Amino acid sequence: MDPLHGYRLVIGYDGTDFRGWQANDGFRTVQGVLADSAAVIVPGPVDVEGSSRTDAGVHALGHLVRIRLSTSVDTHHFHRSLQGVTPGDIDVVSCEDAEPGWHPRYDAIGKRYLYRIWNAPSRPLFGARTHWWVRQQLDHERMQVAAEALIGRHDFAAFRSQSKDAKDDTIRTVHQIVIQRYGQCVSIQVVGDGFLYRMVRNLVGTLVEVGRGYRDVEDTARILASTDRENAGVGAPPLGLFLMEVSCQGQEVPRCQSGPLSL
């Protein structure tokens, strides 16, 4: 019997001032701040696990998290208390009791990411922390055509950055990629069963090169087949990336949203 009582949270955060998700001594991380905040409410051991290890500068609106405490407390009280003690760049969207054995990463079956690009001659006045500023006009329709080759179950090794924790299995399923333009904002949504290290940012960077006219639309298929990271484009910076939604077993896989995407 697990001696810790678990809670299932959905959180959002502005990742600008965090050194990513994963706890790291001496650095401000989302996992570390959540653990410290929960320990203020309920003294004793605190265990925090997330559905994704987002990089420094990456944001979230729907990061699924499990917090386990040594003492069971009222869920509503814990939710309100956690909202009160977490800093302003973290939002505790929801909180409920977690089933024994449930894990946000191992039980996840689908994730939806959003990448936002400010595509205009002038930088965004109020969105500089949450958009990649690209001056050159992007052909988003051309990018969408190029993205179609990435849909399905493939070996995405060409779009994985190296990491000491990288696993040998590079097979993933991408269910959808939807690229939309509304005014000066180009949004790229990607839904898949899981993603390799910096895979979404590397996909975005390659598609932007297509949108700029630096690559042919057929290049994405050739890059994918090569399984060689050297053939793909430069990865997009972290500031435009958002983890929007995570679904677990028993739920439907997320779907890309249509229309302007407000945060």
pLDDT tens-digit map of 91-103? 999 999 999 999 9
**Contact yes or no for 67/48 (Cβ under 8 A):** yes
- What is the model's pLDDT at position 1? 43
Q: Is residue 113 over pLDDT 90?
A: yes
Q: Which residues of 143-163 are buried (b: 16+ CB within 10 A; e: fewer)?
A: bbebbebbeeebebbbbbeee
- Catalytic residue, chosen from 17, 47, 55, 139, is 55
Which residue bears the tokens 């320990």? 39
Q: Is residue 114 over pLDDT 50?
A: yes
Read off the pLDDT of each residue in 100-122 and give the average, rounded to a whole number.
96
Neighbours of 176 (CB within 10 A): 15
User: Which has the closest alpha carbon to 179: 203, 143, 151?
Assistant: 143
Helical ranges in 111-256 per DSSP H: 140-147, 199-211, 219-226
Per mean pLDDT, which range of 69-73, 78-82, 137-141, 173-177 is the poorest? 69-73
Based on the residue annotation, tell me whether 155 is a catalytic residue of this protein: no
Read off the pLDDT of each residue in 213-229 and give the average, rounded to a whole number.
97
Instruction: Answer left, alpha or beta for residue 198, where phi above 0 means left and psi between -120 and 50 means alpha.
Output: left
Upper half-sphere CA count for residue 230 (Cβ side, 13 Å): 0
Q: Tokens at residue 158, please?
A: 């060409």
CA end-to-end span of the chain, whole Å?
Answer: 40
Read off the pLDDT of each residue in 49-65 and give the average, rounded to a whole number.
96
Using a pLDDT cut of 90, give the percent of the chain over it: 87
Read off the pLDDT of each residue in 193-209 and give the average, rounded to a whole number.
97
CATH topology (fold) of 109-248: Alpha-Beta Plaits (3.30.70)
Task: For the chain, give every domain's residue range.
Answer: 5-97, 109-248
pTM of structure = 0.94
- The domain at 5-97 falls in which architecture? 2-Layer Sandwich (3.30)
User: Would the CATH topology of 5-97 be identical to that of 109-248?
Assistant: yes
In tens, the pLDDT along 247-260 reads 998 888 999 888 76
Maximum C-alpha span of the chain: 59
